[in-house]
Structure formats: C-alpha cells, structure tokens
Structure 1
C-alpha cells in the first residue's frame, strides 16, 4: 500500500528515524479512502484532521467525492505540514500542536461535520528532543493543560458537555499513549450529527487506560463501524495492529449506562489478501467497481442496517452487541477513579467481568447463561512480578557450587563474577526461556538469581558513628566489589551516560535514616510482596496461548515479564486448583479472545485482563478435584499424561460452566483460531483466501 514520504531533514540520521520519534505512521490514501467512505465524507460540509501529517486522510476525503465548504488540517511538523499545504491548496493547513488552544483558535470553526484522523502512535513520555520539529513537542502536563484551556471555546460542546469533558481530561491515565488525549480532542470537535473517523491502535479495545475513550463513545456517540486489519498489514513500519472506527455524534445521553439492548455496530475484518497496490480492499470484487471504497462502504452500510453477517476469505462482517461492549466498559471503568467522579455509580454497575464477543457468542450457541465472578471476589489476587529497574545489576546468571552460588553478570558489569551465600541471592524467573517443559518452577532448576541486599550494606556505608550500623550485616567482599563496580559503571548510553542510582526505578530505593528507621541504599531492592512471590505465573507476552505455571511453595521471585496470581488466606482456592483452572480450555479461550494482540502477532496478557476474568461458580467438590488435578499437572512432563489430566480438568470446568464435551472442544477451537489469526500478522500471505462480497 502506498505511503507518503518526505525528504530527510538536514542533521537527521534518516527520515524513517525522525518519523518514528514523532510517532508518524502516515495513513496512505488507499486506507484513507476506506475510512472516509465509511464516514460518508462526501456528505460533509466541513472536514478537519487535527493530526494531518502530509494530508493523506484529507486527500482521501476529496478523492471519494467530498466537496466541503471548509477543510482544514493541523500538523506540528513543518515538513509534513508544508507537504500537506502544497498537496491541498484548498485546505487551511495550520502549523502547530493540536493540543495548544492558540492553535485551535486559528481554525475557522470548532464544530465540524467530520473529524478524521490518525493520532500519533507514540507515548508523549518518549518524545525526543531530536525530533527536529519547529514546535516544541508537548509534555504530558502540557497536553492535559492545553485540552482543559481549549474547552471553553469549543462550540460543539454545551456547558454540561464541557464540564464532563473536563473530568475525562483530568481523569485519563498518565500512562496512556498520545492516542487517548487525541481521541478526546477529536471527539470534542464533532458537531451533533457529525462523525468521528479515526485510525487507532488495536490496543484501544483492550487496554485499561483506553476505557475512558470507550465511555466517551457510549455517552456522546453511536458506534457504526470498527474495521480490523486481520494480518497487521496496513502499516509495514508500525509495531502495533490498527483498527478503523467510525462513530456518529448524538445528543449527550443522561448516562453512558443508558443503552438499548438491541443496538449493535458492524465489526469488519479485512484480510491482507484483499489488498491491491492501490487499496486494502482492491481485490474484493464489487458491483460496478469504479468507486471501490464507496461501493464497499455502501455494502457495509447494508450489513450494519440489516444486522447481517458476511463471511468470505477476504472480508468478514458481523454485528456486535453494544450491550456487551457496554458491560465490558463498565467492568474496566468501575475500578477507575474518574468513573465515580463523573457520577457513574449505583445499581447499574456490572460484575466487573469482561466477556469477549467470541465467548459471548459461544455461550449463546450453547444455550447457557452461567453466573461468573472475579478472581478478587474469590480470594485470588492478581498483579505483576518484580521490576528492578536495573536488571543487569540486580539479576545475574548463576549456579550452586560447594554450598554457594556463583554469579555471572552482564551488560555494564559483563565479566564480573561473585561467590555468594543464599542470604544475598534469591532464585528468580526472569524470562520465558527459563520456563521448564512442565508446569512448575522451583529453585532446583533456576538459572537466574536476584541480588537481595536488603540486610547487607557496603563497609563504607557502616560508619562507626552510624546509630544504625548494627541493623545491616557487612556485605561479603565478593559482592561488594560488584556493587562498587556498578556504582562506577554507565547504565545509560554513550551519548546519555547515567548512574545506576539515577535510574527511575532505582532511585526510589534510596531513603535516608528518619524516625528510628535505618537508611536504605540504592543497591537494596524494595521489600518483596506477594505479587513478586506468587502461586501462579503467566508470561505477559506470548506467541502461543499462555501456559500457567506453579511457583512451588512461592520460592522463586518472578520478574515483571510475567503476570502473577496468588491465593489469599481465606480463599477456597488452592494454588494447585488455580494452576489447573488457568490451563483449562475455558481459560485458554478467554485469554486468547480478551488479551491484547501486538503487531507481530504476540498476545499480551496483563494483570488488568486477569482481574476481569470470568470465573465460573465452582462448588467445594469441584475445587477439590481441580486441586487434585493441579497437583498431578505440576509434576508432569510427558504429553500423553498431561493430555489426560487436562481432559479431566476440562470436564470439571465444563460442568461448572454448564457445557458438555463438545462445548469444550469448541472452546479449544476458539483458542486455536485465535492463535492462527495471530500467526498471520505481518505477513502478506493469504492468496488462498479468495472471496467476494455477495
């Protein structure tokens, strides 16, 4: 698919590097025409793109027949803005940050029939001063402040809209990427009856920080289309999968919780095999064919209007219940402070569980409606493993020898070794490559070790006059030499050297003596808590369906590369029962359909996904069986034996859910189908997937 390119700026290593720093992944007119056609751009009297780039989306609107009285774009990068202005002389192409109210004030209007955009795929926390743009890139604080300052002058919003939008602006997570405030900005510019049409990362469907966007859509918009890039082929240079969304602005609802049970939107999945050199749908046969994107949009409108399904090798469409989407939004939002602040509380709250479309459809086909609970309500906690902030210092390879552990360090400390006692090293599972063939981890097979120096100090930190000198033991000399070397080493880059104690996740370890408390030094990790020493671990990023592992007797530390689970004192769940359940067909299907799919096809499973996991209602006998089977699973490695135990586990889970053996097989097919879809990401394959819109 064609992309827009500009010559590199003087002083930039390459144009590609520069665009990456800015988060620029220009849409291309082919994809833009699909988005513009679905948004009915040809009917819009006014069109704006607040992050216009080189003008691909605005040009796409014109190419499908739009003839607006007003057309405008905002772009912070002069090179891209100048390209846009030269390409579209009829458009007002404004240089500046869309989050600057002074820039917004330069628009001819602030209420638009169509707001179309492709927000930057970058975290503003990572904006680089080397981006070589005329305008200073905004910080997180400037983005939020700018939005708040712009609100009073946005004519598409009434006074109550502005009050509620202010809560949303103040409430979105500081960890969100720039797409979230971009959503809020774009939505605030759409007049009632107008449309919002965006290219967005697929993560907006599943990430907790994007829940605020879902809420905004439910309260002020009617979702019409979500279009998915099945094989992550639309952007060769982006590391994320993307979707298109089109939504029509409606009069503000009294609450986002007001939802007609029968309302749906149309979800469309487009195969990479549908693409020609000119368009992502160029190979789809349509009647007429002279205006492929508009013809495709016309067909999509009929699917949406009729609530129809369409299945072919190149494109698949299905209606998705907005009631289900709403329940899933509330499940995530109910844990977030802004939801209560904005006034969304009361009896309409959900059970805080997430049911994916595929699982909801499976339940309907099975004719069952089981009750579900969260892990939290069952006395099972969920979190993330240990984040050291300086793995090349706190982690080392090692093996036991003569009653001690021989540690070998890497990174800035490569070549250093130390012989240490158990008192200063703890077994740790750092990455997936260290996981065993079976279903349990233990110190016996650990190859990674974490420095646990919480009870030790360097001799020079134990001054005779120090009233707390007796609190810490003197650090063994072999490891003291490593600590001193770490203090001299560069943990940054050649251009940006950095001391280990200045790293953002290490500096909080430092604490001066105060109120009878001894000092804490940079080489002392924080105290370990249950999420660091859990019962169960699952890799956060998975190429295949995640496998759950038992942490025997909670003896191994678990790194932040893993999501972690542990039973609380009064829980009816045992660690073994949890191991069994998390390896069941039900768990695999739920995880596969609710995790976040990354650009390369990996599945990301965060603690937030597990907190919303639908847990069936097990009775005590069923939990006892799961515990017994989990104990068996933990000691098995032979596939034939494992398959028998997994079948037994699935029988228990199936009984609790209310499905038979065939239902379990279908769950397994759902999980496999998800893996197969992910395996096709970033490939141009699919020639065998031929099909036409009927």
Structure 2
C-alpha cells in the first residue's frame, strides 16, 4: 500500500482526493518554481523559507537556480510530503507540523527571512469549519486564526506597531476566507525589511472580497514588483483555475496603503500555454537555452527599467499603476470593519471608479479624467442567487400541472422518481444556464424549474412534538409530500464510502432552529429553506460561468427565484435608473471588455464572473437624456433582442463625453474579441 493511501485510511479520510482537498495540496513543480525563484532574486537571499513546503519543490527550485543561502527552512503538515521534502533538502531545517502553531515556528532556525517563497494551501472555508485527521491534526478555522494571532508575538520582522496592526487584520479577515488568507498573512510577517515575498496563488483569489485584507497588507508593508499570469491554465494539470505568480519586496510600514501615486508601477506579465515545453513553462520563449527562467526574469524586469511593455505571441508585459490598484482597493475596503482599526478612513462619499486596464485608459484618452462610478453608486445591488445546500431535494422539474397540484421530478433524491406536490409549496426557479432563452428576457411561463418552499408546512410528527406555536403557525403536509420528505430524510446524499444524510449536509443543518416560544419565534426544520431575500428573486441575472460571451438577462416576471449559479442584480427605486437601462449597459461591449480582461478565467477557458467583478465595472455618469434613451434601448433589447449597436454607441459616447466615432466603438469590439480568443480552451492552448 502506498504511503499516501495508508495515511488516508489511518487519518479517517474517504479517499486520497478528499485528503488532498482538505490539505489544499497542489504541488508546484520545480519548473514553475524556478520562474518564481528567478523573479524574486533567490540567488541573492541569505535565508529562504517555505512555511507550506509540500514536497519541497520551491526550495529545490531556488537551489537548482544557484541560490546558496546560509539558512533554508521548511514546514510541512503532511508527513508523506514532509519525508520527501526532508530527503530532498538534506542540509535544510525541515519541520513537521502546523505552520500556525507558535511551537512549530519556534523550531525553525530563524524568525525573519530574506525570501519567503510558498504555494499556500487553497482550502475553502466550508472544509475548515472544523479540524480533521486523527494522528496528524489539520487545524480548523478557529485554530488557524488563534494560532496566527499567537505566532505574531514571535515575528521579529515586525515592530510592536506592526504587530498591533497585523493583529487587527487577523481579527478582521472574513470567516468566509479560504486558508490562503491566513497563510499569506503568516508568510508576510516572516519577511525581513528589504526581503521578498514570492507566492503562487489562484488568479481568482486576486479579485475576492475576502482577500482584501491581504491586498491591504501588501500595499502597506510591501512594494509589489511582478505579477505573472498563467494565461491558459496549464501550469497545474489537476487545477481548474488559472494561476498567478506574485513577487513583492518588503518595505518599512507606510503611513497608509492608499497613498501610492500613479507613477508607482509594477509589471503585469502573461505567459501563453504554448510557451510550455519539456524544459518548463517558459522553455519555448528561449529555444535551445537551459536558463529560460532566468532569461524570462530579466526580460520582465527590463519593463520596469525601460518604462515600456512588450507584446509577443507567447508572452506580454505591461506596467500597472499601484495608485490605481490602491484606489480600487479603497473602494473594496470601504465597508470593512478592520479598516478604521488600522488607522484608515473610508470616504463617506462614493469614490471615483478607476478604469482597471491600461489599454482602456488609452482608449479613453483625454476622457480618462472624467468621473466614473460603480453600479452600486447608482443604486444597483449585486449579490448571488439561492443556495439550497441540497439541490437534489429542493429542486425539481415540473412535468404536469392541474389547478391544485404539480407532478415534479426531483433533481436527485435516491429512490424517488416523481412526486405530486401542492402548488402552494412550489416556486418557479432558474436553476441553470440551459434554462435561459436565446433572447434577453426570462418569462415565468417558459420555466419548468421548481423549488420546494415548505416554510409554512411541517411533518405531522414535528407538529406533534413542536408545541403550541408550531401547531398554530404550520399546517400538516399532504400525505404524498410527507412521504417524499421522510424518504429524503433517510436517503444517502453522500457517497457509498462516505454516506451522509441530508440533515448532515453543512448547508442544510443551519436550516434547523430551536425556536423561542416566549419571543414568539417558532422552530424550523431541516426541510425549510431560509426566508428568501431580494437577491434570490432579482430583476436581472448574469451567469457566473460563461463559456461564451458574458450576457445579462432581465427577469420579466416578479417572484421568480434564481439559483446561486448566477450573480443577481436589483435596482433601487428613486435613483433615476431603471432595470432596462441596466440591462442595456450590462450587454454593452464596454462591459464585455472589462469582464473579459478582469474576471477569472477557468481551466477550460470559461470566464467566471462573480458579483465582485460586476461591482467593479466603471460606469459613466449618464446625463438624463442619455439615460432615458438607454432605458428605451434596453426595453427593445428585452422585447426582440435588437439595438446592441446603438447601445454600444450610446455607452461609448457617455464614456468619452462626446459622440463616439465608428472606429472607436470598433476598437472596443476588437478588445472584447481578443479577450474571448485569449481564453481559448485549455487543451487547445497547451501546444505540447
């Protein structure tokens, strides 16, 4: 039996995949590690550490590149990976344990380092709700936060004021954050002033709201030097998202994170999947050369030295303003509770929304000085649709309906093919993209998806045992529905190896509420979804995963629920903006360009558009006449799908502050198409 399989079994995991998922393991590989090492000047570092070392790929890459540090340190929590790392790095100080444990950190030979290089574990918060493992414990979210807080006391690279501010950031980061957030805070605290932080992170992570705390930390204690994008998601064969390399130099704490100027720059580079060869991810950029990683690093650094980018078939690089990044971050952080604790002030007035890309700044020309706002500034709320936690039970497809009941086919309840359910227990829902029409308007009559709404019904046994308040507020379920619910309660919603009842699902268990008769609060049962909010029944939706061009739809009939597969939008009344104007704007080429170049590209080439990306789209301040015209165009778009060219002309003119020329709108269309082509299918772009 292989060591990993033996450990999987002894530690109580259902499979090696489950174990790796809980560990957040995606080993980097020496080839990619050499690029990171070259960009971070590993050769000049006298001390190098990887606090989440895995099998030691990144540290080995530094040594293979010619680094000869006096001290090399590594921490790894997985005993199998640790043994590999220790055997590879025989002259290094390798420690087996949890990097968030101060006692484990104390076993390293140093507290501060010239280079901290790592590929932090990416473990979603749902998996971190509690610890895991038996003999080799994996900490839960609370243990990680508490351990990190305690570890700051021993970080000599921070002075007392630094520690105070770091503690505020540790206390303030979101409970929805994945493990990469505390991991990067830990790594940042270990870098000596003048040293460097070198990271492998998912591209999507750079745009997550919950990662804003780390972005803030980087802008206040570091100078970002390089960000390199894996354009076609080929660096990690088994990962489904694009990867990014980030290199930042540690500086003395700045007075604030938002005071960077427009002249303060870093280099943003991209590497095509076709650049990968037998010698590594950039081998085909320099045919016949053995030191392709170092040559690539020199090429990228010259961009900053020459103040000029480059565009080639297999790679490109441009300068990005840290001032612009800081301004965008300030908007993102405006509602973060930790912001005032670290001495920053969020403006009570809407900030101007920065144009996120250099080439769009060039397109705007002199109009770039015009004030742009966000959709939120105009009264548009953006969120995510309904997450049931058990779609197989709560979702179904209607196949027949009479005046009182509907025959539905549940999406996935073992042992149940169909069931009759009263109409008052069903709500219409958009579950997936395949249910969307070709046009731009969604109508109730065309939707067969249904969601089970049992907030006013209960099983007879629950009513019997629930007390007077339950008897008063809930009506008994009809027989066929009750049979269905009881079957679902005992069905296996897990796997054969790891069976799980529906009540044990992490997103279903919170449905249960004990209630408080004194306060008039009734209990709730597992089959009752939480109350629906406006974001669950929106006016507009945008799919979160887009194989083709990102597109917005209007939900023409009120009350239709929308699944979490979609970002959802609602327009506040009294703002001067209506839903048709927003529909038109979101389907403009301007929005396509922004999303194509700022949203996250997944491994298969699909574009993942989150609510965060929609919130960051710069919006011109439309004059009343233009806004009225935009609304008319949006209404026409909803009715018959026409008017897109007129919408593009109107939006471009509003952005430029004058009538847009045909060649200017054509230039925007080319930029949008370039973005779509660039995220071509992963298998078509490997070039190997």
If the length of structure 2 is used for normalisation, what is the TM-score?
0.92
Identify which of 505, 510, 522 aligns with 1:508.
Answer: 510
Identify which of 492, 495, 499 aligns with 2:494.
Answer: 492
Please say if residues 601 and 681 of structure 1, whose CA atoms lie closer than 8 Å, have aligned partners that are also in contact.
yes
Partner of residue 10, structure 1? 6
Write the distance in 1 (CA, Å) between the matches of 2:294 and 2:401.
Answer: 71
Cα displacement string for residues 114-149 of structure 1 (whole angstroms, at most 9, x for unaligned residues): 111111232364269998785311111111111111
Write the distance in 1 (CA, Å) between the matches of 2:400 and 2:582.
Answer: 31
Write the distance in 2 (CA, Å) between the matches of 1:391 and 1:352.
Answer: 40
Cα displacement string for residues 506-533 of structure 1 (whole angstroms, at most 9, x for unaligned residues): 3333343522344433323222221111
Q: How far does residue 429 in structure 1 lie from its aligned partner after superposition?
A: 0.4
Cα displacement string for residues 659-693 of structure 1 (whole angstroms, at most 9, x for unaligned residues): 43332222222222222122243544448xxxxxx
Q: How far does residue 322 in structure 1 lie from its aligned partner after superposition?
A: 1.0
Q: How far does residue 285 in structure 1 lie from its aligned partner after superposition?
A: 2.6
Q: Which deviates the most, 533-542 or 618-627?
A: 618-627
Write the distance in 1 (CA, Å) between the matches of 2:495 and 2:26.
Answer: 27
Q: How far does residue 573 in structure 1 lie from its aligned partner after superposition?
A: 1.8
Structure 1 residues 592 and 554: alpha-carbon distance in aligned structure 2, compared to 1, 3 A threshold: farther
Partner of residue 657, structure 1? 655
Partner of residue 45, structure 2? 44
Partner of residue 575, structure 2? 571
Q: How does 1:129-528 map to 2 (within 5 A)?
A: 135-285=136-286, 289-345=289-345, 351=351, 353=353, 355-358=355-358, 360-365=360-365, 367-403=367-403, 404-463=405-464, 466=468, 469-511=471-513, 512=515, 514=517, 515-528=519-532
Q: How far does residue 444 in structure 1 lie from its aligned partner after superposition?
A: 0.6
Please say if residues 207 and 612 of structure 2, whose CA atoms lie closer than 8 Å, have aligned partners that are also in contact.
no
Structure 1 residues 546 and 308: alpha-carbon distance in aligned structure 2, compared to 1, 3 A threshold: same
Is 1:624 matched with 2:622?
Answer: no
Q: How far does residue 361 in structure 1 lie from its aligned partner after superposition?
A: 3.0
Q: How far does residue 299 in structure 1 lie from its aligned partner after superposition?
A: 2.6
Cα displacement string for residues 77-124 of structure 1 (whole angstroms, at most 9, x for unaligned residues): 222222222222111111111111111111111111111111123236
Q: How far does residue 358 in structure 1 lie from its aligned partner after superposition?
A: 4.9
SS of the aligned residue for 2:84 comes to helix
SS of the aligned residue for 1:553 comes to coil
SS of the aligned residue for 2:116 comes to strand
Write the distance in 2 (CA, Å) between the matches of 1:347 and 1:375.
Answer: 17
Q: How far does residue 26 in structure 1 lie from its aligned partner after superposition?
A: 1.6
Q: Which deviates the most, 533-542 or 371-380?
A: 371-380
Please say if residues 22 and 127 of structure 1, whose CA atoms lie closer than 8 Å, have aligned partners that are also in contact.
no
Q: Where does structure 2 lack aligned partners over 5 or more consecutive residues?
A: 10-14
Cα displacement string for residues 586-619 of structure 1 (whole angstroms, at most 9, x for unaligned residues): 2222222222222322222222222333222122
Partner of residue 556, structure 1? 560
Write the distance in 2 (CA, Å) between the matches of 1:474 and 1:481.
Answer: 12
Structure 1 residues 686 and 350: alpha-carbon distance in aligned structure 2, compared to 1, 3 A threshold: farther
Please say if residues 385 and 559 of structure 1, whose CA atoms lie closer than 8 Å, have aligned partners that are also in contact.
yes
Q: Which deviates the most, 495-504 or 561-570?
A: 495-504
If the length of structure 1 is used for normalisation, what is the TM-score?
0.91
Q: Which deviates the most, 385-394 or 490-499?
A: 490-499
Q: Which deviates the most, 483-492 or 87-96?
A: 483-492
User: How many correspondences in the alignment?
Assistant: 675
Q: How far does residue 410 in structure 1 lie from its aligned partner after superposition?
A: 3.5
Partner of residue 3, structure 1? none
Write the distance in 2 (CA, Å) between the matches of 1:474 and 1:53.
Answer: 55
Write the distance in 2 (CA, Å) between the matches of 1:651 and 1:32.
Answer: 46
Cα displacement string for residues 149-187 of structure 1 (whole angstroms, at most 9, x for unaligned residues): 111111111111111111111111222222111111111
Q: How far does residue 230 in structure 1 lie from its aligned partner after superposition?
A: 1.1
Write the distance in 2 (CA, Å) between the matches of 1:130 and 1:15.
Answer: 17
Please say if residues 353 and 614 of structure 1, whose CA atoms lie closer than 8 Å, have aligned partners that are also in contact.
yes
Structure 1 residues 53 and 124: alpha-carbon distance in aligned structure 2, compared to 1, 3 A threshold: farther
SS of the aligned residue for 2:413 comes to helix
Structure 1 residues 348 and 411: alpha-carbon distance in aligned structure 2, compared to 1, 3 A threshold: closer
SS of the aligned residue for 2:6 comes to coil
Partner of residue 593, structure 1? 597
Partner of residue 12, structure 2? none
Q: How far does residue 237 in structure 1 lie from its aligned partner after superposition?
A: 1.5
* RMSD of Structure 2 on Structure 1 (CA): 2.6
Q: Which deviates the most, 510-519 or 11-20?
A: 11-20
Write the distance in 2 (CA, Å) between the matches of 1:490 and 1:446.
Answer: 29
Is 1:72 matched with 2:77?
Answer: no
Is 1:540 matched with 2:544?
Answer: yes
Structure 1 residues 500 and 32: alpha-carbon distance in aligned structure 2, compared to 1, 3 A threshold: closer
Q: How far does residue 313 in structure 1 lie from its aligned partner after superposition?
A: 1.2
Q: How far does residue 558 in structure 1 lie from its aligned partner after superposition?
A: 0.8
Please say if residues 502 and 508 of structure 2, whose CA atoms lie closer than 8 Å, have aligned partners that are also in contact.
yes
Please say if residues 366 and 663 of structure 1, whose CA atoms lie closer than 8 Å, have aligned partners that are also in contact.
no
Please say if residues 374 and 618 of structure 2, whose CA atoms lie closer than 8 Å, have aligned partners that are also in contact.
yes
Please say if residues 264 and 307 of structure 1, whose CA atoms lie closer than 8 Å, have aligned partners that are also in contact.
no
Please say if residues 503 and 509 of structure 2, whose CA atoms lie closer than 8 Å, have aligned partners that are also in contact.
yes
SS of the aligned residue for 1:469 comes to helix
Structure 1 residues 625 and 367: alpha-carbon distance in aligned structure 2, compared to 1, 3 A threshold: closer
Please say if residues 398 and 449 of structure 2, whose CA atoms lie closer than 8 Å, have aligned partners that are also in contact.
yes
Structure 1 residues 533 and 348: alpha-carbon distance in aligned structure 2, compared to 1, 3 A threshold: closer
Q: How far does residue 556 in structure 1 lie from its aligned partner after superposition?
A: 1.3
Please say if residues 350 and 377 of structure 2, whose CA atoms lie closer than 8 Å, have aligned partners that are also in contact.
no
Q: How far does residue 504 in structure 1 lie from its aligned partner after superposition?
A: 3.2
Please say if residues 50 and 117 of structure 1, whose CA atoms lie closer than 8 Å, have aligned partners that are also in contact.
yes
Q: Which deviates the most, 471-480 or 7-16?
A: 7-16
Please say if residues 385 and 563 of structure 1, whose CA atoms lie closer than 8 Å, have aligned partners that are also in contact.
yes
Q: Where does structure 1 lack aligned partners over 5 or more consecutive residues?
A: 1-5, 637-641, 688-694
Higher relative contact order, structure no. (Cα contacts within 8 Å, ≥ 6 residues apart): 1
Write the distance in 2 (CA, Å) between the matches of 1:422 and 1:124.
Answer: 37
SS of the aligned residue for 1:635 comes to helix
